[in-house]
């Protein structure tokens, strides 16, 4: 039995982060899930213990998962207008793998709808289907763009 190829096969998809921050900012609330290793890395970056980092930047959501908090305007706590992501080099896997999330690459229609909000989608570097599958599985990350989201 052969597995069907994804809709974006064989040519893949293009994406280069433009630093617009659409994926980092409100107007809707959202979650940026983090694991223990990411928490430790971010805490170290900010010169905090993991406990202090957790008290200041984390919240429990959805069945006890851990997410970064948001600012009152619903932007990510690490997004600063005019600067971009303050922790870009150490950003969580969820941020590194955008827009290659399973729910975004599920269909061409969903990809196109999301690309209306993200100017980097459909532009720049071409990702092969194998690399997209790896990113959608939470492995690796997109190349560094301009300190954005």
User: Is 126 within 8 Å of 12 (Cβ atoms)?
Assistant: yes
Q: Report how far residue 47's alpha carbon sits from residue 1's, in angstroms, rounded to the nearest whole number.
A: 52
Instruction: Answer yes or no: is 11 within a domain.
Output: yes
Residue 22 belongs to domain spanning: 1-26+83-149
DSSP code of 95?
A: H
pLDDT reported for residue 141: 66
The domain tally of the chain equals: 1
Distance in angstroms between the alpha carbons of the first and the last residue of the chain: 39
Q: Report how far residue 124's alpha carbon sits from residue 126's, in angstroms, rounded to the nearest whole number.
A: 6
pTM of the model: 0.85
Instruction: Answer yes or no: is 60 within a domain.
Output: no
Grouped pLDDT means (10 residues each) for the chain, 149 residues: 81 94 88 96 98 98 93 95 94 94 96 95 96 89 52
Instruction: Answer yes or no: is 20 within a domain.
Output: yes
């Amino acid at each position: 039995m052969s597995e069907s190829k994804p809709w974006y096969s064989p040519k893949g998809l293009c994406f280069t982060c433009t630093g617009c921050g659409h994926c980092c900012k409100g107007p809707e609330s959202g979650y940026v899930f983090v694991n223990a290793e990411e928490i430790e890395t971010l805490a170290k970056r900010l010169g905090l213990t993991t406990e202090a980092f957790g008290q200041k930047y984390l919240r429990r959501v959805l069945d006890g998962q851990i997410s970064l908090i948001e600012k009152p305007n619903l932007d990510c706590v690490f997004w600063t207008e005019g600067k971009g992501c303050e922790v870009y080099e150490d950003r969580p896997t969820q941020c590194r793998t955008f827009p290659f999330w399973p729910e975004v690459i599920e269909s061409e229609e969903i990809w196109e709808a999301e690309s209306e909000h993200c100017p980097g989608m459909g532009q720049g570097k071409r990702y092969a289907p194998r690399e997209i599958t790896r990113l959608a599985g939470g492995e690796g990350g997109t190349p560094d763009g301009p300190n954005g989201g």
